[in-house]
Amino acid sequence: MKQPCSKIRIASKEVIISQPLSTFWVYLLGFLTVGVGLYFFQIQNGENSRLWWGISLLLWGIGALLAGTSYQAFAYEIKCAGRQFCSWTSWWEVVYLIFQQVSMNAMLVALAYSCTTGTFQTVLLGYAVMSSVVYVILVFIGGIVPIKSLITFGFMVWVSTPVFLFFCLLNAWRYYMFSYDMDLVLLGSWILLFCTMMAYWIYNKLGITKKLWAKGIWFSENDVLHVFLIFWIIYIATFVAEHIKDYTIP
């Protein structure tokens, strides 16, 4: 499918920017997420959970910037310029997928410190490490062999889904048992993240991108994802950050 592009001149070189508006949204998301990650470091105050929230969001934000560079802004320059046929992926995208998945596991570590203790916490920390290592290996294999099914957003979401479901169940159970504000605001974040993925899926399923582009309007399913995630990261900064703390005995 054809995409909107614009040309800019950098020094003496003319560069083609793909999907300029989409580039704006994904870069805005990336910089906001990095900023909120750094904010968690600033308010850490000795809390391991806040430290790992900061690590998670820093990885997530950098991943968004990498994705925006290869999928949107410089997609033509990275995957097509000087080639007879465009490349189906790039190492920018491989590293993005790794950062994104490891970010989810870093978030699992953060929740382990916030919501669990003892053996259960140790198991969760071990799972986060093991899952990250296995995923990194699979993605590198997918990039080198190559195996396209391993270098996809869908595969990354599939791997992340058990962790996401665990987040929902853990915070729902804890809020039911103890009525902690932290669990309530975390539940709100997971609901917002679920709505984000549903909006992306429905928009893509209905083929709205193509319908709008036929009318000269470019707003893709990725833009829907990124705009919703911008609201999600603002929610994290506004409501979640101040409530995050390490586990305490009920």
- pLDDT single digits (tens) 33-86: 999 999 999 999 999 999 999 999 999 999 999 999 999 999 999 998 888 888
Residue 190: per-residue pLDDT: 98
Does 116 score more than 80 pLDDT?
yes
Sign of the CA dihedral with 53 first, then 63, 148, and 194 last:
positive
Segment 8-24 shows an average pLDDT of 88
Residue 1: per-residue pLDDT: 64
Q: Does 2 or 180 have the greater pLDDT score?
A: 180
CA-nearest of 91, 83, 75, 72 to 30 is 72
Band of residue 32 on the pLDDT scale cut at 50, 70, 90: very high
- pLDDT single digits (tens) 145-200: 989 999 999 999 999 999 999 999 999 999 999 999 999 999 999 999 999 999 99
Is this model's pTM higher than 0.75 or not?
A: yes
